[in-house]
Amino acid sequence: MSDDRRGGVHAADSAALALDEGDISPEARTAILRLMAEIDRLRAEIAANNRRIAYLEEVADRDPLTPTVNRRAFVRELERAKAYADRYKSPAAIIYIDIDDMKSINDRFGHAAGDEVLQAVARTLIGNVRSSDVVGRLGGDEFGVILAHADRLAAEEKASSLSKLIADIQIGPTESELRVAATYGVQTLGAAEDAAAVLESADRAMYARKRKADEGRSRN
């Protein structure tokens, strides 16, 4: 029901209440009052349903473990950001982040500690990007960050900064502290055909960086 229609119903309500008893029969007045009560009930039911739908949509978009959006919601936001960037020629980028050695963390410290790492990384990402940016958990130990109004240079700088902040995360007591590290890949939104291609390119860039780091460690 549109605002105009709702306004019309309110006007009708007021007009009905303003009628003198002599203007209409008692039966008609009773019917009008019953109709008005039913309209009020329906309004309350619609408002409650809208609140319920909004809650369910929010729950459906949330990652079950971390305070980020899930992959489905992230991809949807990436599609929107891609469309906006293409239409307005506005720079935007994505950072694809993979937590290093997550299996070793789970094996050595337990899955509860692994979950704590994921939560700490999520909080670090959310706390160090703008409200216009989007942080999502893409699955397992992988996260994504959509950076609005950011070219490749800005995205690389932000990715490097976030990587250093993740490396500062410490989990557990000092004598057996768990140190966290992550590898990232960057892709601008305008350089790919669609959102899926953006995500795939950022993923490949992340794995290329990881391979390069592994090769450097093996040579040393």
C-alpha distances in angstroms, 21 versus 12, 15, 25, 30?
16, 13, 7, 11
pLDDT band, very low/low/confident/very high, at 218 (cuts 50, 70, 90): confident
Catalytic residue (choose from 141, 151, 168, 214): 141
Confidence check: pLDDT of 42 > 80: yes
Neighbours of 174 (CB within 10 A): 6
Return the biggest CA–CA distance within the chain. Answer: 100
Neighbours of 27 (CB within 10 A): 8
DSSP codes, 5-74: HHHHHHHHHHHHHHS-TTTS-HHHHHHHHHHHHHHHHHHHHHHHHHHHHHHHHHHHHB-SSSSSB-HHHH
Tell me whether residue 115 is one of the annotated catalytic residues. Answer: no
Confidence check: pLDDT of 73 > 70: yes
- Per CATH, the homologous superfamily of domain 71-219 is Reverse transcriptase/Diguanylate cyclase domain (3.30.70.270)
Closest CA to 5 of 52, 46, 53: 46
- Kindly report, residue by residue over 82-93, the tens digit of the pLDDT: 999 999 999 999
Helix residue ranges, H only, 62-110: 71-88, 102-109
- Kindly report, residue by residue over 80-138, the tens digit of the pLDDT: 999 999 999 999 999 999 999 999 999 998 999 999 999 999 999 999 999 999 999 99
pLDDT band, very low/low/confident/very high, at 3 (cuts 50, 70, 90): very low
